[in-house]
Amino acid sequence: MKHVLSLLVAIAGIGLSSCATAQNVNKTEVKTDSIADKMLVYQLGNGGWPKQLQDKSVVKYEYPLTADLLEKIRSTTELHATIDNKATTREINALVLAYKNTGKQAYLQAAEKGIDYLLRAQYANGGWPQYYPDKSSYRAEVTYNDDAMVNALTVMLNIVYQTNGFEAVNVKYQKKADEAVKKGLECILKTQVYQNEKPTIWAAQYDENTLKPAKARAFEPASLSTGESVGIVRFLMKIKNPSVQIKEAITNAVNWFESTKIVGYKFSKLANGDKGLVADADAISWARFYDLKTNQPIFGDRDNSIKSNVADISFERRNGYAWYGTFAQNLLDKEYPKWLKANGG
């Protein structure tokens, strides 16, 4: 059951705490956060949040809670709980900060319920599925796509390090979060793809049982994934006193990015309105996906076909997906050198 009381709060425009506040010492008014109040309304019974409602409408907390929207929220089930598109982790982060700014206990309680959800959703092998408990299609796969698993691990790391407001979280979560981080790091190290015994980067998804790279949507083949791998490296660089294995994983990934960068081209609009690679002397790019064995850029289409040239996929997919980007440029130019200096060169 969702936060029914919070639902009434949202409709009435007052916080439950405001009633109690009048009776508190000094009779000071408890602050509230309008976005945080809405997050309480959207939270599912299992502690997670949806990225979209039952009718496929995207969650937007700036929308007013009309009677029609409240009905859509009520009809959304726990199967919609996900960490995709920052769902659940963004709410936990926001609610922790809202509690820090207002002192309203309901925000912290909801955040901790969300943390419980993340802890339950983590696999024994350390990975997180895109959805939990829904295991249909590719939703059960260990998912780095769109930084899903990295976002979950970052919540856990904030609890362990007591940073970004998470010092407010109940101390009982520290040991659990520490264990979750250790398991997650083991999964990251185990899933770094090797080519001829040489570590490269990571895939976007992995089979939850075998931990082998897996496909997701028809146009998202099993492949090396640059954007997600940058997110993984950035997470690894947050670890204090990193192990030799973590240092090697970071360095090997950086070396792969250096060896595969495309200099002098960017993915942009063409004169005919289409998109493709165009010459730009100052540009550095990477393809979004690379073949697991050859390191050649690959491009998927809605018919499950895989092409070696972006011009060979359909116009709709060519123009509706980020097939190239500057994914690792800041990592190579600024972040890795800074990390390297701080960790012994």
**Cα 266–268–272 angle (5° rounding)?**
135
- CA-CA distance, 108 to 96, in Å (whole number)? 6
- CB within 8 A of 345, min separation 6: which ones? none
Q: Closest Cα partner for 141 from 153, 124, 149, 129? A: 129
Q: Are 239 and 174 in contact (CB under 8 A)?
A: no
The half-sphere exposure of 204 on its side-chain side, counting CA atoms within 13 A, is: 22
Active site residue 145: no
Choosing from 217, 304, 309, 330, the catalytic residue is 217
Active site residue 217: yes
Q: What is the Cβ-side half-sphere exposure of residue 180, based on CA atoms within 13 angstroms?
A: 27
Residue 243, token pair as written in the block: 């192990």
Catalytic residue among 85, 93, 151, 158: 85
Contact in structure between 130 and 217 (CB atoms under 8 Å): no
User: CA-CA distance, 124 to 142, in Å (whole number)?
Assistant: 11
Give the separation between CA 100 and CA 195, rounded to whole angstroms: 47
**Hey, which residues are catalytic here?**
85, 217
